[in-house]
Amino acid sequence: MRAVDGVSFSIPVGGTLGLVGESACGKTTTGLMLAHLLEPSAGSIVFDGRDVTMLRGAALRRFRPNIQMIFQDPYTSLNPRLSVAEIVAEPLRINHRGTRSEIDHRVRGLLDAVGLPAEVARRRPQEFSGGQRQRIAIARALALAPRLIVCDEPVSALDMSVQAKILNLLRDLQRQLGVSYLFISHDLSVVRIVADVVAVMYLGRIVETGPAEAVFADPRHPYTQALMAAVPDPYKRSGVTPLPGEVPSNINPPRGCRFAARCPARMPMCEASPPSLHEIEPARRVACFLHHAIPDQDAVGRGTAA
């Protein structure tokens, strides 16, 4: 099984790439590999022009502070036996970043940066709300001054009002620190707020990528269009449009386009071979035969009626 298959994208310096798709499509696996928490079986991860997939031992330890991670569930990602100060200070101590007094000063500064008062430092995670816990997790991720943070569904476990506060915090920190984000989410409304560039994933592959404004204004891949149609909109009288069919097994994926069985515009060629990620205009790429060339109209008609 290939959980992630031929995925390729770039994250802009000081910007945000939003990685979107249905659950179990490979988004989190991609983030874990980027953070060196999973080893890829093939391919490369290039950071500042350097392939970091082969780093081991001391070289890997020196590199790790560059990429940190914010996990989805703030209720399970924080050690309940440690105080807030110990949680935020742990990366600094492991990496020998300063004396005890210097680390204490850094912890106070990080808590202030995420909007928490210094007096919370002695308390434990279970004494806080979900939003406050995620602020603690963000402070921990910032401790080593990373250049890239993998945000794995960082607001999906939070109430709507709390989500907005955490998203605003992440955007403010990005402006202040110049940090880049890989923002993983299945919630398109959230990604639309935070992302500069969007990559849409389906069954382990990227099917569309481009500037966020362009993708949301004019989605080109049928799967991206289906995702947009499934977003609740109070101004739509018809309600949401559910995506038909089931996701194929990634243990035995289809030979052709992996979305073909669910696609309303499928053609015979879609089931024969997989489409490559093709540039349709500057900075926009789509993996769909509809955009590789102008297909025969009879074939399009047969595919639509199938």
- Same domain for 203 and 224, yes or no, is no
Higher-confidence residue of 229 and 178: namely: 178
Last residue of a domain, one of 162, 194, 212: 212
Q: Which of 212, 243, 277 is the last residue of a domain?
A: 212
- Is residue 176 within 8 Å of residue 145, measured between CB atoms? no
- Whether residues 119 and 263 share a domain: the answer is no
300 lies in the same domain as 264: yes
Give per-residue pLDDT as tens, 181-231: 999 999 998 999 999 999 999 999 999 999 999 999 999 999 999 998 887
Based on the domain organization, do 71 and 167 belong to the same domain? yes
Residues spanned by the domain of 176: 1-212
DSSP, collapsed to helix, strand or coil, labels residue 113 as helix
CATH at 2: 3.40.50.300
Count of positions (residues) in the chain: 306
Does one domain contain both 295 and 154? Answer: no
Q: Do 292 and 236 share a structural domain?
A: yes
Whether residue 44 is predicted with pLDDT greater than 80 in this model: the reply is: yes
Residues 149 and 231 in one domain: no
Q: Are residue 102 and residue 11 in the same domain, yes or no?
A: yes
**64-90 b/e (C-beta count within 10 Å ≥ 16 → b):** bbbbbbbbbbbeebbeeeebbbebbbe
pLDDT of residue 51: 95
Confidence class for position 297, pLDDT limits 50, 70, 90: very low
Stretch 221-247: mean pLDDT: 78
Of the residues 212, 242, 265, which one is the last residue of a structural domain?
212
Domain co-membership, 19 together with 105: yes
Q: What mean pLDDT comes out for the span 233-260?
A: 80
Total count of domains within the chain: 2
For residue 46, give the nearest of 9, 5, 3 by alpha carbon.
9
Cβ neighbors of 142 (< 8 A, separation 6 or more) are 68, 110, 113, 114, 149, 173, 177, 179
For residue 304, what pLDDT band results from cuts at 50, 70 and 90?
very low
Partners of 286 in beta bridges: 208, 278
Give the integer Cα–Cα distance in Å for 102 and 99: 5
**Cα separation of the two ends of the chain:** 29
What's the one-letter identity of residue 104?
A: D
Distance CA 52, CA 173 (A): 26
Q: Is 55 left (phi over 0), alpha (psi -120 to 50) or beta?
A: beta
pLDDT in tens, 59-96: 999 999 999 999 999 999 999 999 999 999 999 999 99
Q: Are 208 and 219 in contact (CB under 8 A)?
A: yes
- DSSP 8-state assignment for residue 96: T
pLDDT, residue 231, reads 77
Average pLDDT, the chain: 91
Q: Is the confidence at residue 235, as pLDDT, over 70?
A: no
Which pLDDT score, from 0 to 100, does residue 305 have? 31
